[in-house]
């Protein structure tokens, strides 16, 4: 999969655009998120850079080195500093209770790893820290058949559902959890009507 992502990012274009994800931007404001934030699977950096522009201290990671290069170039152009590491969560050695927020935007992990990873992400949150997540729903598969440009994984096990998130985040206070149909306009690979799950939880 790492090769797939390096290939996808191997173009001058920002494949999910350079503007932040709309739900993330709204949640940052609604919950007045301040302090340190972690951005797993952050790709080309659009959300991490927006957070840094809004005063957050940002750590991001992704296993694609091509994505990191583009993110760092964007950060320089926008005049902000971010700590962006190449690798997987377990390689980073992050301390527990370090972050005020963890932001998962279209962070679709391998089915055999996702449950443990989500538990580990809760551990690196400070008490009362929040997780903000938007990702494609299992029900996006039907929409993707009609319009492949909307994007998202084809493997149902990599997609989200309300029940899966209720289970994986059952030790958090669920502040919001819903499935919505939304018009995505995020670069060339997220275009059109998609079904997403939106989640905000507090530790």
Residues that bind ligand SAM (CB under 6 A): 5, 16, 21, 41-43, 46, 62-64, 67, 88, 105-107, 109
If the CB atoms of residues 90 and 173 are measured against ligand SAM, the closer one turns out to be: 90
Rounded least distance, CB 64 to ligand SAM, Å: 4
**How far apart are the C-alpha atoms of 64 and 56, rounded to whole Å?**
23
Helix, strand or coil for residue 62?
A: strand
If the CB atoms of residues 5 and 199 are measured against ligand SAM, the closer one turns out to be: 5
Rounded least distance, CB 154 to ligand SAM, Å: 13
Helix, strand or coil for residue 189?
A: coil
Rounded least distance, CB 3 to ligand SAM, Å: 10
Tokens 């400070």 appear where? 126
**How far apart are the C-alpha atoms of 138 and 169, rounded to whole Å?**
18
If the CB atoms of residues 106 and 169 are measured against ligand SAM, the closer one turns out to be: 106
If the CB atoms of residues 4 and 95 are measured against ligand SAM, the closer one turns out to be: 4
If the CB atoms of residues 84 and 169 are measured against ligand SAM, the closer one turns out to be: 84
Helix, strand or coil for residue 113?
A: coil
Beta bridge partners of 102: 38, 131
Rounded least distance, CB 91 to ligand SAM, Å: 9
8 A C-beta contact, residue 18 and residue 48: no
8 A C-beta contact, residue 162 and residue 177: yes
Rounded least distance, CB 127 to ligand SAM, Å: 26
């Amino acid at each position: 999969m790492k090769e797939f992502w390096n290939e996808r990012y191997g173009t001058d274009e920002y494949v999910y655009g350079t503007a932040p994800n709309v739900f993330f931007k709204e949640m940052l404001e609604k919950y007045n998120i301040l302090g340190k934030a972690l951005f797993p699977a952050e790709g080309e950096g659009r959300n991490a850079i927006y957070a840094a522009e809004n005063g957050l201290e940002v750590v991001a990671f992704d296993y694609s080195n091509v994505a990191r290069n583009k993110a760092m170039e964007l950060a320089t152009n926008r005049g902000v500093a971010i700590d962006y590491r190449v690798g997987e969560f377990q390689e980073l050695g992050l301390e527990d209770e370090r972050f005020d927020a963890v932001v998962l935007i279209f962070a679709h992990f391998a089915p055999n790893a996702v449950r443990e990873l989500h538990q580990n992400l809760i551990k690196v949150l400070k008490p009362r820290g929040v997780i903000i997540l938007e990702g494609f729903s299992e029900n996006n598969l039907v929409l993707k058949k009609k319009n492949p440009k909307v994007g998202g994984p084809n493997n149902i096990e990599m997609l989200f559902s309300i029940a899966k998130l209720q289970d994986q985040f059952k030790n958090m206070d669920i502040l919001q959890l819903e499935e919505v149909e939304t018009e995505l306009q995020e670069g060339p690979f997220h275009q059109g009507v998609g079904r997403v799950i939106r989640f905000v939880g507090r530790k």
